Structure 1
Amino acid sequence: MSELGDDDVTVDVDAWQGDACVGVVSAAGDRARQLLGLRVLVGTRDACGECEVCRAGGASVCLLAKARVRGKQTTAFARWVVPLQDGLELPVPAAAAVAGDVALAYTSYARTSVSAADSVVVVGKSPVTRFLVEILRAKGITPTVVVEGDDRAWTDWLAARGAVIAALATREDARAKVRDAIATQGRGVRPTRVIATSGASADLACQLAHRRGTLTLLPTALSGLDVGLAAQLEVTIIGVAREHPDLIVEVAAMCAKGEIDLAAGISLEPGAPTCSYVSIP
């Protein structure tokens, strides 16, 4: 690997989840030596932390960010790594997902500015949906989750977590099904916050967004988005490009407290639709 900068660390990787990882710091620059020997979470990219975008809170979309290089080792900016110590000890290899899909789910929650008074609708079947539901429930929020088709295992898991389910036979009845699901919570019938988490879910999510509500989109939820419809309804679109590095420590604490079932949410085999794939280098 190239020579380390004063603020960089080399991490011997235990496991990857996408471009996020967990591992042990084996080398450190002069200003990062306190991290030597510690197991840390590493996010998907290294923001510069100094540009105008970063200073405005946009580290997740920093124009000068360095992409993560995958392998048995990786180099990271010490500012953004999260040491797993002092109560943040998490199981390996599952911890790799904390800086990846779990932090992405938490970022979508934070960017949407959800409160307990909101009617929140989640559209899409994905690992991020799974973690987002657990985050919302831990915050005292009951989401309505749209389930398309006969998906008993997914429906049972959602119900066990306290989510309200809007089961769709076809997309034509989506608005009515979601309205009825929200009504069971005594919150009227208007979905004030809609979050799309997976591919091909944006179009349906846009149809469900209420006038002057918000629609939060993750990178995988862009297919088929009808921006014109959103504009006609004065829907505010919130983009979540990737996890925000400042939020990784917060969601790690939720995992440490058991508010997120990390072990059940990962898979060591690819292809599980609602579990994050974790690989060993």
Structure 2
Amino acid sequence: MAYDEHTDRFVRMVAPRTAEIVTDGDLTPGDDQVVVDIGFCGICATDTHGYESAALPPAVFGHEWSGTIAAVGSRVSHLKVGQRVVAGVGPACGDCAQCRAGHADHCDLAFAEANGVSDGAPEHGGFGTRIRVSARRAIPVPDALSDVEAGLMEPATVTFHAVRRAGITLGATVVVQGAGPIGLLTAQHARVGGAGRVVISEPSEARRSTAVALGFTDVVRPEELREVLAELSGGLGADVLFECSGVASLFQPSAELVRRGGTLALLGYPGTDSSVSYGDWQSRELTVIGSLAYSHSDFLGAMTLVAEGRIDVASLHTGTIGLDDLEAMFNELGSGDSAHTKVLVDPRL
């Protein structure tokens, strides 16, 4: 089916710091595709950086979407019109080089989908009224999740994936550096995953207050972190440190807070090169784990934790705007002075 060109709008970047609202008159699903009415689309730091540079793949600018199936292709049997879904990645394809080698958790197709560069990637992201996408990427939402919780599942899954990769042991001393949405969700997943103490380091008073409201007691300013961690760990350092700020200059100082034989887990994505002490990392036998995106199973696991009330995503939601307010919000979030934690875009406003 085709839709009225006057009702379907989406936002795309045309130049750095310049976005435009475009109408699309044909969102007919292909045989293996679905069309989704967008309910919410979250704004993340990737989108803000994309607004500054206009360098993101079109499907990534607005990748945290959720909504309701509006139409399905002729070969789609596992989804139906009216079903709530979130944007994700499909199951391991079983045919790419990684899958054939037995590394299904790192399926090439799923990784390409997460980065918006797979064949048939959407022509635009979820900053719009509807999106046409491969059916394998639309993941059903459990009834127990609210629409707002569904709208926040993508960052909840990014952090689920990172904490799973870090392999926290029961009772571990964990540091989370940065208390933005990613840091706060990482801290919650670490707590659920068995961490004994979770120390959160954050310069913003408002974000520290949010961490305390989520039940964390060891919430400190960055300049206090080393002393507090030394006291909690008996001078050893962190068993696992999650670097969630993406500030390149913090990489080596972060590594120095990890005990000998501990793990440095990297979530924040730096925009510049980093200088580290290779000899320090080697001599202290650090395990360094990078984490980017997620697998299909990560979505299923993260949704289960949210549905059971073990991870609180809704408390991070601090504002909702319409498409016409998107540029102004990018400017606010990019200024570094915004009081928002997580803003959702509702194209119906």
TM-score calculated relative to the size of structure 1:
0.81
Partner of 1:266 in structure 2?
A: 317
Kept in 2: contact 1:130–1:274 (CA 8 A): no
Q: Which secondary structure does the structure 1 equivalent of 2:220 belong to?
A: strand
**Structure exhibiting the larger radius of gyration computed from Cα positions:** 2
1:233 aligns with 2:295: no
- Cα gap change, 1:113/1:76 in structure 2, threshold over 3 Å: closer, same or farther? farther
Q: Which amino acid aligns with 1:25?
A: I
Kept in 1: contact 2:211–2:219 (CA 8 A): no
Partner of 2:326 in structure 1?
A: none
Superposition pairs of residues 46-61 of structure 1, within 5 angstroms:
49=93, 50-54=95-99, 56=103, 57-59=105-107, 61=111
Could you tell me how far 1:159 is from its partner in structure 2?
Answer: 4.0
Determine the C-alpha separation between the residues in 1 that align with 2:175 and 2:340: 17
Q: Could you tell me which of 92, 114, 117 is aligned with 2:168?
A: 114
Determine the C-alpha separation between the residues in 2 that align with 1:222 and 1:113: 27
Partner of 1:177 in structure 2?
A: 228
Identity %: 21
1:8 aligns with 2:33: yes
Q: Could you tell me which of 257, 278, 294 is aligned with 1:208?
A: 257
Could you tell me how far 1:208 is from its partner in structure 2?
Answer: 1.2
1:105-142 Cα deviation digits (max 9, x unpaired): 11111111112132222111210111122222233423
Could you tell me how far 1:276 is from its partner in structure 2?
Answer: 2.5
Q: Which amino acid aligns with 1:117?
A: G
Q: How many residues align?
A: 270
Q: Which secondary structure does the structure 1 equivalent of 2:238 belong to?
A: coil
Q: Which secondary structure does the structure 2 equivalent of 1:79 belong to?
A: helix
- Cα gap change, 1:31/1:16 in structure 2, threshold over 3 Å: closer, same or farther? same
Q: Which secondary structure does the structure 1 equivalent of 2:300 belong to?
A: helix
Could you tell me how far 1:277 is from its partner in structure 2?
Answer: 2.3
Determine the C-alpha separation between the residues in 1 that align with 2:313 and 2:85: 16
Could you tell me how far 1:180 is from its partner in structure 2?
Answer: 1.1
Alignment RMSD, CA only?
3.0
Where structure 1 has 5 or more consecutive residues not aligned to the other structure, the ranges are: none
Q: Which secondary structure does the structure 2 equivalent of 1:210 belong to?
A: strand
Q: Which secondary structure does the structure 1 equivalent of 2:158 belong to?
A: helix
Partner of 1:131 in structure 2?
A: 185
Partner of 1:90 in structure 2?
A: 145
Q: Which amino acid aligns with 1:234?
A: E
Determine the C-alpha separation between the residues in 2 that align with 1:258 and 1:81: 23
